[in-house]
A = this chain, B = another copy of it.
Amino acid sequence: MHKFEEKTTKTESIFQGKVISLQVDDVLLPDGNEAKRELIKHPGAVCVIAITDEKKIILVEQYRKALERPLVEVPAGKLEAGEEPSYCAERELEEETGYRPGSITHIQSFYTSPGFADELVHVFLAEGLKKVEGGLVADEDEFVELMEVTLSEAEQLAKDERIFDAKTLWALQYIRSNGLA
C-alpha cells in the first residue's frame, strides 16, 4: 500500500455512457480526513505514428465536439472491449487513413488526464505502409480528413494551434528526436 493511498469508503455511480462513465468516490485521506473524488472511467485508446515512404507524417483532421473546434491529430481511436491495442492501432489506421502497416510497434503508453480520468493511450509506430484498395471505412459517426505533411509543416500546424493535443505533440517530438521524418 502506498503511503498516500486514498481508501474508498463509498462509490456512487453517476452515469454510464457509451464511451465514458462517471463515479464519485468518498475517500479517506492519509491524514484521516475525508474528501470526494470525481472520476471518469474510459476504455483506453491507441494512437499511431505513421510515416510514408516519402517521409510524410500521416495526420487526420476531425471535429472535436468537446472543444467545439476541429483538431489535426495522429490517427487514434478507442479500444473496443477486449481488443488488443496493436490490433486496434492497425484497425484505426486503416479506417481513418486507408493505410495498412507492414509492422506495428508499441513505443509508449501514457495516461492523459490522471487528475480525473483513467484514459490510457498506447502509442504505436507503423512502418512499411501500403495504401489499401477501397480503404477509408471510418466509424459511422466519425468524419475525418487525411493529411500527409512534412515534419516542418506539422510543426507549423502546432504553432498555429491546429495541432493542439498532448499525444500528437508528444508524437512530433518523438519523430524529431528519432529522425523519422
Interface, chain A (partner B; CB < 8 A):
2, 4-6, 14-15, 17-20, 22, 24-25, 27, 29-31, 33, 35-40, 42, 45, 61-67, 69-71, 73, 76, 78, 108-119, 121, 140-141, 143-145, 164-167, 169-170, 173-174, 176-177
Contact = CB atoms under 8 A, between A and B. Distances in A.
Contacts of A35: 141
A170 B171 CA distance: 9
A141 B37 CA distance: 10
Contacts of A66: 37, 39-40, 113-118
A111 B29 contact: no
- For A36, A71, A117, A144, which residue has the most chain B Cβ atoms within 10 angstroms? A117
12 contacts: A2-B70, A4-B62, A14-B14, A19-B38, A37-B65, A64-B111, A66-B115, A73-B114, A110-B165, A113-B117, A173-B174, A176-B177
Q: Chain copies in the assembly? A: 2
Contacts of A170: 166, 169-170, 173
Contact of A29 (B40, B69, B143): B143
A15 B39 CA distance: 12
Report, nearest first, the 8 A-B pairs whose CB atoms are least far apart: A166-B166, A4-B63, A173-B173, A35-B141, A17-B38, A37-B65, A110-B166, A64-B114
Contacts of A177: 173, 176-177
A37 B42 CA distance: 14
